[in-house]
């Protein structure tokens, strides 16, 4: 069973560009969560999605950030007009059901904004 897959693993963008991060959940999982980890800090919840629905985006900045989980294909976290403060590791997790006692995490995407 493949685990949660994220790509790219490393992404470098210049200020003002767009960053697009992808997450494929584990097989059989229909719940996806995105977290951000700033340097030397713990992970912070950003958004929770089910197929075609955003359940909770309370942890996501209201501007420049958006997330989707289409019926087909991976979940996408999109950051428009990136700034240096967006440099962080972005982790995706998935679970089989709502809440999910066990959220399985992907390896993360490390975004560096120059």
The pattern of x and - marking residues 21 through 50 that bind another protein according to CB under 8 A reads ----------x-x-x-----xxxxx--x--
Q: Contact region for another protein (CB under 8 A) — 12-20, 70-78, 80-88, 92-100?
A: 92-100
* C-beta pairs of 54-61 under 8 Å, 24+ apart in sequence: 60/34
Cα–Cα distance, 44 to 97 (Å, whole number): 21
Does the footprint of another protein cover residue 99 (CB under 8 A)? yes
**Contacts of 75 by beta carbon, 8 Å cutoff, 6+ apart:** 22, 23, 24, 25, 32, 34, 49, 67, 68, 69, 92
Q: Which residue, 22 or 104, is less far from another protein as judged by CB?
A: 104
Q: Which of 57, 59, 66, 68 binds another protein (CB under 8 A)?
A: 59
Q: What are phi and psi of 84, to 5 degrees?
A: -60, -30
Q: Which residues lie near another protein (CB under 8 A)?
A: 4, 31, 33, 35, 41-45, 48, 56, 59, 91, 93, 95, 98-108
């Amino acid at each position: 069973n493949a685990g949660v897959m994220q790509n790219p693993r490393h992404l470098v963008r210049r200020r003002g560009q767009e960053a697009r991060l992808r997450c494929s959940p584990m097989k059989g999982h229909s719940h996806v969560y995105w977290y951000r980890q700033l340097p030397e800090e713990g992970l912070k919840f950003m958004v929770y999605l089910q197929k075609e629905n955003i359940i909770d985006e309370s942890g996501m900045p209201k501007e420049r950030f958006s997330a989707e989980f289409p019926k087909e294909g991976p979940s996408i976290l999109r950051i428009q007009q990136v700034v240096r403060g967006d440099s962080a590791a972005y982790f995706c997790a998935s679970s089989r059901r709502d809440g999910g006692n066990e959220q399985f995490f992907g390896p993360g995407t490390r975004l560096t904004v120059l």
